[in-house]
Amino acid sequence: MLKLKDASLLKSENYIDGRWTTAATKFDVTNPANGEVIASVANGDAQDTEKAVLAAHAAFKTWRKKTAKERSAVLRKWHDLILENADDLGALMTAEQGKPLAEAVGEVKYGASFIEYYAEECKRVNGATIPTVANDRRLFTYKQAIGVVGCITPWNFPNAMITRKAGPALAAGCTVVIKPDAGTPLSALALCELAERAGIPAGVLNIVVGENSSAIGKVLTQHKDIAKFTFTGSTKVGKLLMAQCASTVKKVSLELGGNAPFIVFDDADLDSAVSHCVATKFRNCGQTCVCTNRIFVHSKVANLFTEKLKKEIAGLKVADGFEEGAVIGPMINKQAVEKMDALLADAKEKGAEVVIGGKQHELGGGFYQPTLLLNINDDMRLANEEIFGPIATVQHFETEDEVVAKANDTEYGLAAYFFTRDVGRVMRVSENLEHGIVCSNSGVFSTEVAPFGGWKQSGIGSEGGHEGIVDFYETKFHSMGGI
């Protein structure tokens, strides 16, 4: 039984135009660690989404006219309330998503940082005065809020992926309609409760939860009153949503899949490399778009690195996220577990060696053994697909040019990691990797003050940093004559 300090944060209705609204049907939200039902939630539909869009459109007329300082003050209250309730928000997330409680609370604090940052940043978005081309004219540009923003967020970061979008949107003067994943709606609804307490006006922030993602998605991508659409999820779904947005030529931001390389050169600090490799590979049970996907190790240090990596993986505690010391929680659902089985079966059939793990965990349910594979070749699915689970794969390489070419040989281009003590190599490799985020000698990079975005089929645009707010504005050019 889920216990919260503030039981009113557990919401089971949609939040539309400042009201908690029911639906004709409900669906169950279950704990992936044990299958227990946490709550039965209103099953919103396209009609509910239409209502939310109309409410956001009406609210935009007044929200956009508030000064940046006024919006900033309200957002700062929201940020403070999130931090004050971080333990409860973390518990909700662990219950519905499965990640260890400490990791969940960490996400809540990370998510709050975007609201704080953009509450400050919106006061520093400026237009420009352009040198005139004639003495009787003056030239200016203005930055104005784009309008209603439609958002679809994923289950793997049910708090931070909302605040990373809603924070800059609301700060810029936009209003939002958000569809969280039906598997993890409780984190989203709790954020609405706190937003209401902070004084965010009715209609400015709306949440529609529903199992019919296609119908809700069509409203968010095709409704004439939505000016911008932003999505975090798979590349396959992102392409479909992008095509739907074309019908009304919406501004689009997409944060899609990844196939992150992790490169270890022969001069690397191996202990540091192993520690960061485990952190980037197994965080959230390997279910992040920037998780290490392909580990490339120089042949001179491959055996030693692999032994160290095996030891670290063996020490990872697999347990219910509420259990003390848990590092690896359950996968999100049965389908995710079945995908791991399929990837492993394919790899073993094509010659992969299982060093550790390699099957479902004895805890059953959504739990999977942290796994390490060797003898990987390019014919294997997991050498080409986003694994999105607790399976690590090690390949060997000989030269810098060879491994950079391998790292770039993918349709994705989100995050890349490499370890070396050679400063010249740090510069060369970072410049030559075709990825939007590059980390040298580090596996930790997510921060509200820097852009997060991918190249190639990993997405369009960035979230975080100054880049994360600019797409929520339109630029207006004003030519003033008669001077």
DSSP letter assigned to residue 38 = E
151, 285, 289, 291: the active-site residue = 289
- Token pair listed for 210: 């529903």
Could you please report the per-residue DSSP string of 340-400? HHHHHHHHHHTT-EEEE--SB-TT-TT-B--EEEES--TTSGGGTS---SSEEEEEEE--H
192 is catalytic: no
- Token pair listed for 161: 């992926």
- From the number of C-beta atoms within 10 Å of its C-beta (0-12, 13-18, 19+), residue 303 rates as exposed
385 is catalytic: no
Residue 201 DSSP SS3: coil
Instruction: Please state, in angstroms and rounded to a whole number, the distance separating the CA atoms of residues 287 and 163.
Output: 19
Q: 380: left (phi > 0), else alpha (psi -120 to 50), else beta?
A: beta
Instruction: Please state, in angstroms and rounded to a whole number, the distance separating the CA atoms of residues 176 and 441.
Output: 38
- From the number of C-beta atoms within 10 Å of its C-beta (0-12, 13-18, 19+), residue 477 rates as exposed
Tokens 């970072």 correspond to: 430
Q: 192: left (phi > 0), else alpha (psi -120 to 50), else beta?
A: alpha
107, 255, 448, 463: the active-site residue = 255
Q: How many other CB atoms are found less than 10 A from the CB of residue 106?
A: 16
Q: Which residues are catalytic?
A: 255, 289
